[in-house]
């Protein structure tokens, strides 16, 4: 019984740890080697204004890469890109990458047809663009940001969209041996210093606290100890 409990707990811990990784999307070059690796979870909130505001929400859970639309970086192409198809609406999230000196930037674009989301006869292909490119570290390294980020897109007529992005780990330049390079972390994931106040006049001390998403490991350890001692 104890052996079964241990196996169950190990499986549970593995699932929790893997949950912190985003869904993986990959583009490959002509040799079959990854040239863009994007791990990301994202949710989308579409709105259409009118007599009554209509909303549509969806995620990338069932999305997949359009392999025919992959553009890899080489000596002649400096701006690689990846296109992701959502399901079942078949909308397109295109992620453009650019390199300026040693800095890498990411720009999401989203294309959708309103009649697939709202009660409307509008069949036009609507494009949403962000107001600014997103900095994602330096050339030769990957970029990781597990914290939640809200990306606002410019309104197009009566349509608006916000994308909430989390568990991001991405690289579009300098991938070696098919693996992500060591990561640069976003400021939101970095440790912060918080002052600890007391009722005395002693010098202020500091404690370090880190913002790690999905912080469920400590409860799991307690859960493990409980089963081991049953």
Asked if residue 183 and residue 75 are part of one domain, the reply reads: yes
Q: Is residue 209 part of a domain?
A: no
Asked if residue 129 and residue 221 are part of one domain, the reply reads: no
Specify the pLDDT at position 190.
87
Q: How big is the CA angle at 71 (ends 65 and 76), to the nearest 5 degrees?
A: 170
Specify the pLDDT at position 76.
72
Contact yes or no for 169/180 (Cβ under 8 A) = yes
User: Residue 6: which domain range?
Assistant: 1-20+214-230
Q: Is residue 207 part of a domain?
A: no
**81-85 and 92-100 strand pairing:** antiparallel
Q: pLDDT tens across 202-221, in order?
A: 454 444 333 344 444 444 44
First-to-final CA distance of the chain: 10
Residues whose CB falls within 8 Å of the CB of residue 49, separated by 6 or more in sequence, listed in order? 158, 159, 160
Q: Is residue 15 part of a domain?
A: yes
pTM comes to: 0.74
SS3 143: strand
Q: Is residue 201 part of a domain?
A: no
Asked if residue 117 and residue 170 are part of one domain, the reply reads: yes
Specify the pLDDT at position 43.
96
Average per-residue pLDDT for the chain: 82
Domain count, the chain: 2
Q: pLDDT tens across 18-54, in order?
A: 446 789 999 999 899 999 999 999 999 999 999 999 9
Specify the pLDDT at position 142.
97
Asked if residue 173 and residue 77 are part of one domain, the reply reads: yes
Burial class from Cβ neighbours inside 10 Å (0-12, 13-18, 19+) for residue 26 reads middle
Asked if residue 97 and residue 11 are part of one domain, the reply reads: no
φ, ψ dihedrals at 18, nearest 5°: -65, -25
Q: Is residue 202 part of a domain?
A: no
**92-100 and 126-129 strand pairing:** unpaired
Specify the pLDDT at position 199.
57
Q: Which residue has the higher pLDDT, 115 or 212?
A: 115
Specify the pLDDT at position 121.
95
Asked if residue 163 and residue 61 are part of one domain, the reply reads: yes
Per-residue pLDDT, averaged over 106-134, amounts to 95
Specify the pLDDT at position 207.
40
Q: Which residue has the higher pLDDT, 222 or 71?
A: 71
């Amino acid at each position: 019984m104890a052996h079964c409990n241990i196996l169950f707990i190990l499986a549970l811990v593995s699932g929790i740890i893997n949950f912190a990784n985003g869904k993986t999307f990959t583009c490959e070059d002509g040799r079959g080697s990854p040239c863009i690796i994007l791990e990301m979870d994202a949710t989308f909130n579409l709105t259409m204004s009118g007599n009554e505001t209509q909303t549509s929400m969806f995620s990338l859970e069932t999305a997949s890469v359009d392999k025919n639309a992959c553009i890899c970086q080489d000596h002649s192409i400096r701006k690689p890109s990846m296109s992701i198809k959502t399901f079942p609406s078949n909308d397109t999230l295109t992620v453009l990458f650019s390199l300026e000196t040693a800095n890498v930037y990411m720009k999401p674009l989203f294309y959708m047809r309103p009649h697939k989301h709202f009660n409307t006869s509008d069949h036009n292909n609507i494009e949403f663009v962000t107001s600014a490119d997103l900095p994602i570290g330096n050339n030769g390294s990957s970029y990781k940001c597990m914290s939640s980020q809200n990306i606002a897109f410019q309104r197009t007529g009566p349509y608006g969209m916000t994308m909430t992005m989390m568990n991001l780990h991405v690289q579009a330049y300098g991938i070696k041996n098919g693996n992500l390079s060591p990561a640069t972390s976003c400021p939101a994931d970095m440790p912060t210093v918080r002052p600890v106040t007391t009722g005395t006049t002693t010098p202020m001390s500091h404690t370090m606290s880190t913002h790690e998403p999905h912080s469920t490991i400590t409860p799991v350890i307690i859960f493990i100890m409980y089963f081991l001692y049953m």
